[in-house]
Amino acid sequence: MSRGFLITFEGIDGSGKTTQINHFIQKLNKNSIPNILFREPGGTPIGENIREILLDKSNSEMCAITELLLYSASRAQLCRELIQPALEEGKIAICDRFYDSTTVYQGYGRGIDLNFIRALNRIATDNLVPDLTLLFDIPTEERTRRFGSRDLDRLEREHHNFQEKIRQGFLTLAGLEPQRICLIDGTKKEELVSKEVWQAYERLLKRNQT
């Protein structure tokens, strides 16, 4: 049995990640391709408890290093308990956010040393690197429009300048790792974005057949 692929979906909140994940899974299922979906933070009982702490609006005083370590702890549990076994079973492991979000939110956003974050990412994932990362980019103004008046969690409530740092951080990562990170214009029509996602997946398959 060949090893599966880890495919991660990234982008600022409101970029369309969840919608595109659903489309992608539907296509995988239609083609009888085994797959499993995870989310970060969370995915395991331990991770879900950590998620509640991280997103709770009452935890507004959480310091940046605490935030970083909690995300990493959740990821470490998820990788060892669920993602690695899924890959060994030959499944497509889909993750709604992964360590790129930590690099961007806690590094570019909070200002924690990027070299420290990269080292911690390697430890938390046991050196696991996504085979493909789909990054959906939208302007922060579009994010505000899409959110409207919905109730926001602790991180979604961050000010506009912080959200712009996040967007620019993601774009920087895309420039640094173009072979892994596929940058997609999230303002395009939903069906066009979905088509680009599938094309990126097909390119991944082709690269691994040669």
- pLDDT by residue (tens digit) across 89-128? 999 999 999 999 999 999 999 999 999 999 999 999 999 9
Contact 90, 3 (CB under 8 A): yes
DSSP H or E run through 119? helix 114-125
Contact 74, 55 (CB under 8 A): no
- Amino acid 209: pLDDT: 85
Q: Is residue 108 part of a domain?
A: yes
Give the integer Cα–Cα distance in Å for 169 and 36: 28
Query: pTM surpassing 0.85?
Result: yes
Domain count, the chain: 1
Q: Mean pLDDT in the chain? A: 93
Tokens 């620019």, residue? 168
Encoding tokens for residue 53?
């702490």
Q: Is residue 1 part of a domain?
A: no
Q: Is residue 49 part of a domain?
A: yes
- Amino acid 199: pLDDT: 98
Over the stretch 140-153, which tens digit does the pLDDT of each residue have? Answer: 888 778 766 665 65
The two most distant CA atoms of the chain are separated, in Å, by 51
- Amino acid 155: pLDDT: 59
- Which stretches in the chain have pLDDT values below 70? 1, 147-160, 210
Q: Is residue 41 part of a domain?
A: yes
Instruction: Domain of residue 150: give its range.
Output: 6-207
- Amino acid 145: pLDDT: 81
Q: Is residue 54 part of a domain?
A: yes
Encoding tokens for residue 109?
């956003």
- CATH number, domain containing residue 50: 3.40.50.300
Spacing of C-alpha 94 from chain mean position? 9
Neighbours of 18 (CB within 10 A): 12
Q: Is residue 32 part of a domain?
A: yes
- Amino acid 5: pLDDT: 98
